[in-house]
Amino acid sequence: MRQLTLREKIGQLIVAGFPGPEIDEETQRLLAEYKIGNIILFAHNVVNREQLKGLCAELQRSITGHTGYPALISIDQEGGRVTRLPKDAVNVPGAMAIASTGRPENAYAAGRITAREMRALGINFNLAPVLDINNNKQNPVINVRSYGDTAEVVTEYGLQMLRGLKDGGVLAAIKHFPGHGDTAVDSHLGLPSIDKSLESLAELELKPFRAAIDGGAECLTSAHILFPSIEKDQVPATMSKTIITDLLKHQMGYDGLVISDCLEMDAIQNYYGTAEGAVGALKAGVHLLFISHSAQLVKDAVRRIEHAVETGELSVDILDEAVEKVLFYKAKYGVVKDGELTEADHEVNRRAAEAISMESICHAGSTLVPVRKGASDTIVIGSLPYRPDQASSQASAELSFPAEAAAAWGIEHLLTDINPDEAEQSRIANEIRHVPNVIIGLYNGCDHRGQIGLANRLVRAGHRVTAVALGKPYDLELLEAGVCGLAAFEYTRMSIRSVIRILSGEAAPTGKISLRN
């Protein structure tokens, strides 16, 4: 490491992204001139398994050639609504869905499957699992990405997922320290604040992280959240030496890799600036900096860090310690060996993921009555999916719960707006007034109350309503008595297939969930 120039050292501490399925010229220049040593992939970089495997191989060749070290190639592959792998790979259910199965071994299996699928493509670094406790139902960005609303559930399932990823051979990052669950602001879009004391955090939010650290967690992601009762300066955890060094490293004994959440998120970029955030994060004790989209912001950050080192603002010792930490994990995970999977292997993984999905579906409310094929007395209604937050994968206009379910049963369907107003509710109610049985797909209706209004209007009109919560399960708490509810947690092709099987009477819903009456 002593032979590295200052720019080469800084390059090892940066994770950059790029805009398409191929490495563009600007990114090539970034790798060559700024010696960027690591990459983050998003859905816009992905076409299919063959393309993605070739892209990762090319990235490794280019980065190794320019820097002399392998790349950490990272991806947000939590499962459920946060998935980046292609459709012909296996995407597992999300955290809350897995926890609803009541079987922690499913979380381990999901981690192991995910790691095997990633390694087969040349990806060695997963930005998962989420260890945030969803103790605020109004949380706009965590919710179903969390395993649950208690420290016990999050710890049990999160650590099993972590172990599965590690046993599968990829570096896994627990997130978002010291806890993103009790916020009502998405840090992609604003700067959240949690005014809790350290003692209060220790009683809840810190418990899963402490257990993961005690269990050998190797990588941890910082949160872009203000904790004013702990950090007196007006900086988020990512830029707080009090939180990253004093609390995490000294008090909690964490000695692994500390990474930032993306420094282009509005919580950093709009309030501090990405380049200043990068310097502040390094001062705080963060080792690896994510600047996930803009090549110009990567350049700005590199130059700002160079200036900070050259002027003595940032200690060379801090920089060297971060580089040593990154290179240690590159030596362990950087070169992906024996990651090949056959089509038979993919099929085994797919069936296992589908089995977990089936076990995750929860029943609440009135009795479930199976749908008959060709039933003229039943209609399926609901909206297309949308992207509920910046962490989620882009929604596909091709995926339609009403269309998929109706096609499976050979019955009619009707698409609604994501938030039907009074006029649309009235029109739909009149249009289906002679159809006694209505299956309605809800997608985060607690955030778009027109969906809830429509469902309750149909109940009051005398329809037998079956409501399927394809996002937050809390939608079911807002429905009037007499509704048969299913919680599916995510609007994915896999979850839709599971719901169809259950509504067809082919399987019973066995998932468990606690909802307010």
Kindly report, residue by residue over 107-124, the tens digit of the pLDDT. 999 999 999 999 999 999
What percentage of the chain reaches a pLDDT higher than 90? Answer: 91
- Contact, 6 vs 34, CB < 8 A? no
The pLDDT value given to residue 355: 98
Domain spans, the chain: 13-333, 361-503
State yes or no: is 261 an active-site residue.
Answer: yes
Higher pLDDT, 190 or 120: 120
Q: What is the pLDDT of residues 25-62, one digit of tens each?
A: 999 999 999 999 999 999 999 999 999 999 999 999 99
Cα distances (angstroms) measured from residue 64 to each of 17, 42, 56, 188? 17, 21, 12, 31
pLDDT at 517 over 60: no
Q: What is the pLDDT of residues 237-250, one digit of tens each?
A: 999 999 999 999 99
DSSP 311-353: TTSS-HHHHHHHHHHHHHHHHHHSS--S----HHHHHHHHHHH
The pLDDT value given to residue 285: 98
Q: What is the pLDDT of residues 127-161, one digit of tens each?
A: 999 999 998 888 888 999 999 999 999 999 999 99
The pLDDT value given to residue 382: 98
The chain-wide mean pLDDT, for the chain, equals: 95
Q: Which CATH class is domain 13-333?
A: alpha beta
What percentage of the chain reaches a pLDDT higher than 70? Answer: 99
Q: Which residues touch 513 (CB under 8 Å, ≥6 apart)?
A: 100, 362, 364, 473, 487
Q: Which stretches of 168-273 are DSSP H helices?
A: 198-203, 206-214, 241, 266-269
Q: Return the DSSP state at 147.
A: S
The pLDDT value given to residue 1: 63
Q: What is the pLDDT of residues 331-348, one digit of tens each?
A: 999 998 767 899 999 999
> Of 132, 149, 186, 261, which one is the catalytic site residue?
261
Q: What is the pLDDT of residues 68-104, one digit of tens each?
A: 999 999 999 999 999 999 999 999 999 999 999 999 9
Structure tokens at 313: 């603002």
Question: What dotted CATH number matches 361-503?
Answer: 3.40.50.1700
